[in-house]
Structure 1
Amino acid sequence: MIALYYYPGNASLLPHMMLREIGVPFELRLVDRTQNAQKSTEYLKLNPNGRIPVLLDGDHVLFETAAIAMHLADKFPEAKLAPAYGTPERGEFYKWMVHLTNTPQAEFRSWFYPREHVMDDEAVSSVKNAAEKRLNHMFDVISQQLGGQQWLLGDQFSAADLMLLMLIRWGRGMPRPPRTIPNLGALAERVLARPAVQETLRVEGIEAPFV
């Protein structure tokens, strides 16, 4: 039995999209952030960091979004959400998954929650502005590397494209949203056109504009 602890639009969006791409039966378990449920005693037993998501795969409890994503890609190779083991393409997949989780995903923490990074409230705007500047640069670099390719791995769709869509969505409220960068906007539209992605958004109650 697979169960995903999620909150709409949160980092759980990536494994949720993957599970629908895979087509395996699974259970969604809402972690209500509006009630601070991610900090409850029960949830902290699953993820002591108090963050979403958590994946239950039988008796296996797994947290960290990228780790969950790579586990699902490995467990269900028939879904082809990652290239074959031992290939150069598999290495590129690892590169993108680690890059996306270590750079823009981590940087969004400063953008959304700047007060976590300061002791003086007067510095909040400075932290947020600096995070915005770094995110803009990160997305520019990703766009340059993507170029005119259909997907991050070239002709092969992968979980990395789903992850990038999630991050583009998170930036929709920025003064310069990632969707306005041509290569990224085009990739986002291709990912959004996938039936599994549309079903995920519907189930989570996420309405347009998606990015």
Structure 2
Amino acid sequence: MQLYFHPSNASMAPHLLLQDIGAPFELKFVDRDRGEHQSPEYLRLNPNGRIPVLVDGDLVLYEAAAICLYLADKFPDARLAPPAGTPQRARLYQWMFWLSNTLQAMLMHWFYPERMVDSGDAAAASQVRAQAEEHIAVMLQRLDEQVAASGGPWLLGADYGAADAYALMLCRWTRHFDRPARDYPHLGPYLQRLLERPAVQRMFEAEGLQAPLV
């Protein structure tokens, strides 16, 4: 397997799961600063020009949440997802889609507010970013409440899994906010538990990331 990645991008969650699984894989660095994600070669893998892409034999798969769910299914012994057809599996789907479609989507408005306004309108872009941060704060509070209510140390309860990898990635992205995820009463200890996992530490080391990690 090959994972096309850029440090601290949406490739982080799939990368973490690969570290958890322990099966052989290769990291393929995509240099965003040089526009490699828009190169003809990369666009043949992902016509959207987004990171990540997973190549597994003849399968070429993009969208980080889809890659995470695929890996969880391909390697059931890693126990990264509850059995299919169970209520617990349904909760995993709910939270994976909430994380990717709700929280991640709003984070994109914070990181790239200029995409939502006329070219060169810095004041409007600033307003988009401010509004996005307000919405993200509400979403982080919801995530904090879920950790508190889960009945276990992880997002969905007693068992660590794919949703935790995704939540770690998105919470990291808030590390420079006025109120980052680590400052919430339940998310803070939850993130510290994640940082203690050996697979998480291997992932950060492999991507060359420095403090603050979350």
TM value normalised by structure 2? 0.96
Report deviation, 1:186. Answer: 1.0
Instruction: Find the counterpart in structure 2 of residue 177 from structure 1.
Output: 180
Quote the residue 1:161 is aligned against: 164
Q: Distance in 2 between matches of 1:210 and 1:157?
A: 19
1:184 counterpart letter in structure 2: L
Residue in 2 that maps onto 1:151: 154
Distance in 2 between residues matched to 1:145 and 1:52, nearest whole Å:
28
SS at match of 1:147: helix
Cα distance between partner residues in 1 of 2:185 and 2:213: 16
Q: What stretches of structure 1 of length at least 5 have no aligned partner?
A: none
> 1:52 aligns to what?
51
**Hey, what does 2:102 align to over in structure 1?**
103
> Which deviations, in whole Å up to 9, do the C-alpha atoms of 1:98-131 show, x marking residues without a partner?
1100111111110001000001332011100000
Q: Which residue of structure 2 aligns with residue 126 of structure 1?
A: 127
Three-state SS of the structure 2 residue aligned to 1:171 is coil
Which residue is equivalent to 1:22? 21
Using the TM superposition, give the Cα deviation of residue 182 of structure 1 relative to its aligned residue in structure 2, in angstroms: 1.4
Deviations, residues 171-201 of structure 1 (Å, cap 9, x unaligned): 0011111110011111111111110110110
Shift of 1:161: 0.7
Preserved contact between residue 144 and residue 184 of structure 2 (Cα < 8 Å): yes
Aligned to 1:140: 141
Q: Distance in 2 between matches of 1:56 and 1:118?
A: 35
Q: Deviations over 1:108-163 (max 9, x none)?
A: 11000100000133201110000000000000011112215311111111110111
**Helix, strand or coil for the counterpart of 2:175?**
helix
RMSD of Structure 2 on Structure 1 (CA)? 0.9
1:63 corresponds in structure 2 to 62
Corresponding residue SS for 2:82: coil
Q: What amino acid maps onto 1:162 in structure 2?
A: A
Partner of 2:194: 191
Helix, strand or coil at the partner of 1:84: coil
Cα distance in 1, alignment partners of residues 103 and 59 from structure 2: 28
**Per-residue deviation, residues 5-55 of structure 1 (Å, max 9, x unmatched):** 000111101111000100000011000011011000100010011010000
Query: Which amino acid in structure 2 is aligned with residue 209 of structure 1?
Result: P
CA distance in 2, matches of 1:186, 1:138: 18
Residue 115 of structure 1 is matched in structure 2 by 114
**In the aligned structure 2, how far is the partner of 1:39 from the partner of 1:125?**
26
Aligned residue among 199, 204, 212 for 1:201: 204
Any idea what SS the aligned residue of 1:124 has? helix
Q: TM-score, normalized by length of structure 1?
A: 0.97
What is the aligned partner in structure 2 of residue 42 from structure 1?
41
Percent identity, aligned pairs only, is 51
Distance 2:54 2:103 in 1: 22
**Aligned residues between the structures:** 210
Distance in 1 (CA, whole Å) between partners of 2:26 and 2:146 is: 36
* Letter matched to residue 123 of structure 1: A
Q: Distance in 2 between matches of 1:190 and 1:24?
A: 24
Which residue number corresponds to residue 210 of structure 1? 213
